[in-house]
Structure 1
Amino acid sequence: MGGIGKTTLAQLIFNDNRVKEYFELKAWVMVSHEFDTFKTMKTIYESVASQKCDIEDPYKLQFKLKEALEGKRFLFILDDIWNESYDSWNVLKSSFNFGANGSKIIVTTRSRTVALKMGNFPIHDLHVITDEDSWQLFAKHAFNGVDSDAYPDLQKIGREIVTKCKGLPLAIKSLAGLLRSVFDLEEWRKILKSDIWELHLQENGSSEILPVLWLSYHYLPSQLKRCFAYCSIFPKGYNYEKRRLILLWMAEGLLQSKAGRPMEDVAEEYIRALISRSLIQRSSSNESTLVMHDLVHDLATFVSGEFCLKLDENSLYNLTSKTRHLASVGGFELMKHADLSKAEFLRTFLLLQSLALQGIFLPSNHLVVDELLARTGRCLKALSLPLSFITELPTSIGNLKYLRKRRWFQH
């Protein structure tokens, strides 16, 4: 089940001091929906070799990885695997054969089929937590170090709220963050009696939005709602730089200015508020990057509606005049086939690499860029085309009079 704590448990293992002492090499790979063996090998190699990998030949990379692992005891965690292909797993596993005895690989997945195909140890099924553990988790986050026994009325209502979370840690932490340091009895009653508990919302007609996550969103201040919805522009499992996100929020005017406070400080406050409600998380691999849980991403996509769009092969024809924020995860080739003129009021365009291509330079076509800017550029406030071979700037670049945030091209 999503949100039950698979990644959290893996993080506890990964960061345990005894584990650090026992294993010579460690690597964490967030796989999510794209299980690309080459990308996974590259991520592992960069972690264990502590250097950037520019190898593009899979066989050369496999050889280099074997060299790096030879005779060493390693721990690899492959987080959130969906791909059920045994052949893909076999190709990846062959690179690990030169590690020392005692090496371990931990896989987290929602699919029992994946677990059975990849594992040669018994599967460890995580179950929902008990009522008492649920309450302890909730109290720890909601009361912020204050003894909950000092508030018996809140404790009674809080236990009823926790029961509605059905032992799901993500849901419990999310609601606890919403009520953190709030000691108003009526506010707690409002959450308990909310009609939202009965809602059954569907994202894209498939993923069900958990009512408890919807509650956390519903009670956000309006400025935080906008910033949260904006994050849906990134793909599931995508680790985005905190600094970059702050600049995008600033460019789009999503931050509410406060007298005498730099906008960067306001953005940091927003991020802390979203983290406390478990609506975004710090990446386990890098403290300076952020990521959304898949279930939370479904919620962000649901609330952003047509305003935010990730342009991929499945959404090629979904551009509308309502689209304001667009991220292309398919490179310039995909943009050739999209009817960009539909997004005439576009304010954000980000060229993102797929999870399988991060760190690789993308071939580009300046004519495609020219078309993008000519058809959608008159309202653009944020433009990012990194890691792309662009040899000349189109003349339409001069028409971007509203542009506030830009990330220029590398070639």
Structure 2
Amino acid sequence: MAEAAVVLALGKLVTSFGVSSLRTYLDKEPARLQDLPSTAKHIERELDMVHHFLSQVGTKIYSNKVLEGWIVRVRKVAYCVEDITDEYNYSITLEHERRFQRLMHKVFYPKTFHRIAVELKDIEEEIKHLSQLKRDYREMFNELLDSTSDSAHIHLISSNGSSHTIKEDDIVGMKRDMELLGKWLDPKELDLTVISGWGFGGLGKTTLVRKVYDWEKGLKSFDCYSWIAVSHNYYIDALLRQLIQELSEDQSKVPTDLDTMNRGKLNDELKKVLSKKKYLIVLDDVWDTTAFHELSDSLVDDNKGSRIIITTRNNDIASLAQEMYKMKLNPLGNDDAFELFHRRCFQKSNMECPFHLEELSKQIVNKCGGLPLAINAIGNVLAVQESKEIVWRRINNQFQCELEDNPGLDKVRSALSISFMYLPRHLKNCFLYCSMFPQDHIFNRELLIKLWIVEGFVTQRGHSTLEEVADGYFIELIQQSMMQLVEDDEIGRVISCKMHDIVRELALSFSRKERFGLADINLETQKKDDVRRLLVSNFDQVSDMIRSGMDLPRLRTFIAVNKVANYHLISLLISRCRYLAVLELQGSPLDKIPENIGDLFNLRYLGLRRTHIKSLPRSIKRLSYLETLDLNSTNIERLPREVAKLKKLRHIFAEQLFDPEEKQLRYFRGVKLPDSAFELAQLQTLQTVEATKKSVNLLKYMPELRQLCVENVCRADCATLFSSLSNMSHLYDLVISANDLNDPLDFNAFSPKCTKLEKLTIRGCWDSETFQRPVFCDYGANMKYLTLTFCKNDTNPLQSISLSVPNLIFFSIRRGCWAEEIILRAGWFPQLRTLYLGKLELRRLVIQEGAIIRLEVLLLLSLPCLSEVPKGLELLASLKKLHVSMQHPEFKREWERDNWKTKLHHVQEIRV
């Protein structure tokens, strides 16, 4: 986004080009250099005004070609400012280092700082020219600012307006949802009830609710009805007037002064209209909880069975309804999607698809991703086309372009575009960033938020870390239906998500328009100095880039997927793209990194996961801005001592997986760190480090760690290790792995003054009194996740664990256990949602009444000795999922003989 580019440039200007940083040098240098601070200040002031202007214009940007053209130039200026500022900051740092080393800086200084001064002067002139252009086209700009209505918004709303006539083929695949919604409107529940239907644009929320609404209106089940389209730019007084008008049974009694009533009188009048009435109100397309709260004071509850239905794209707004009255709409399944498409497209041929169009029909429907709105729209477009394969193939091949400019797809564009246009400012860049990745790409939360941070999309908020703020952004995008949840972790935190295909296509069109980033395009057709972010996923594009010499002077982000990057390409990137901040090469077939990687002075993220890299070059010490170093599953066993120079490093991922089947205790190996690396005071993630006599002691110098994995821990080092961990007040995720099954870990020295520890994994045995140690007795209530593996202990710890760690949500016991029988007694683990028992020699599981009363998931995997169905299994009333695998044959016989599937009829998913 242009506005975000300006904000990012402003933020860097404010903290750079200060007089204090230059005072050492200015007295002896030319006047142009002495003008640097004032030039930068002038640019800062101008960009600040541009920022305020863009904020005020808002979504009108997209409705004026003159403004769009002007913004393109603003964006280029902002990008240049960002690049120059980064280079300036690096140069200042380097000059300080050289001075301390008593080296002559005069040779370096004129060559770099003089060029920076010249470039800043050029930018200053360009900004003056932009201001002049704005004055020259004053009338058009003023028209945008003076307009009281948002033309872009009006267009979108009118294009997406609900129709009172719902055709039968609009409701394919919605029968079950319609029945449920009808049931919720049943008058047996007399309290005023709020119902919500939510999901992203185009799923058919309005269509579904309109069908049920019209049905109820025909039956006259309620005394009065009102359908209110709230939308984004609602006006509360107008909504109140519409409600009064529509809910008044006798229109002659509607006050003649309704249009001039103030808010207080409108509220009183609406209460009078609703008094002793059973009413049905639909609030369609709600974007803000404030709209509901402003109306709710006037909505009378006389215990008549009244209902309010909200449709929304936002989970927070949907949560205004009770959980039991909250309906999430999902995309249509394949069968329903094809049925809807055939009804819409082949009406003239009894809804039968011609044989020669069957395969193309499948491809086109699949691109709609189950969105009824998209299927209807593309069906309408194709219904009037000739039934020739060449015509349909053209539309299929040009689907993205059709989506952007085909008039027949206006409703699809509008429904989805409005979601993007009204995203909060801080989420727009994050959303566009996701669109660059390939179709159906699964985003890992931890890696994605680290990319957002190094891109500069995340700003500090209060005392939260940038990672915590970015985590909130991630959740917001899911709650606003811009991303689809794929997987939660065991304690309810999102692990991964994906982007709906059509949402991605439209996001890509915005990304190109904003010059934000490019994915899998022909660079020959692009202006090279416009390419800011680039993702490649095919070998042809890599070949084209190498052949063209990689002329991308302003590139800051390069991401390679599908194993397409090679050494030659990386060498070219390093030599030609000096401002590169993100280099993500995950999975690429690389066995070494060019020696000159240190030339990428601005690099903040280096992703080498699942490559064949064996070592890092010494020049890595010059990557002074590096924040994330991802070396997971590489062949690197030891980090070079130069890593200690990377003072801004926040995350190190470095472990090797030696045994994928996890048969050995040390199935993964940690990296060896040089002693000096423990001085990286800003480090928050260290996964994984090998325990040595020195390393367990030096960990105390890393107090900011949030996530830590330590492997190969021997008992003799436990006191030192846990004493070091006791200093880490922010640690929330800890993995401790022993070096010997016969050498139990000693947790006695783990005695923090405070801790936020939520997740703990212990691999190996432990002392019998472990769960009575200070960290568990004093802070065990904070812990939500506990995994015990290779735990062949002599004593049963379950009672101690239940007492000391009462709020566990996830509990896993794998590979080794203290007995062949596990008994879960009444009152134990009252908050537990998931219990995972795997690869054990367990023969019997007993669940007493009152134990694990909130359990939802029970996983009994690879338990070949489990010969009977767990006693008390039927007592788990909250159980939703039961998976049993590789059990004893007798288990299966008992399961079928006693008809356990019928006994557990309340369990939604059973796999035995």
Return the TM-score normalized by structure 2. Answer: 0.22
Q: Larger radius of gyration, structure 1 or 2? A: 2
| TM-score normalized with structure 1 length | 0.47
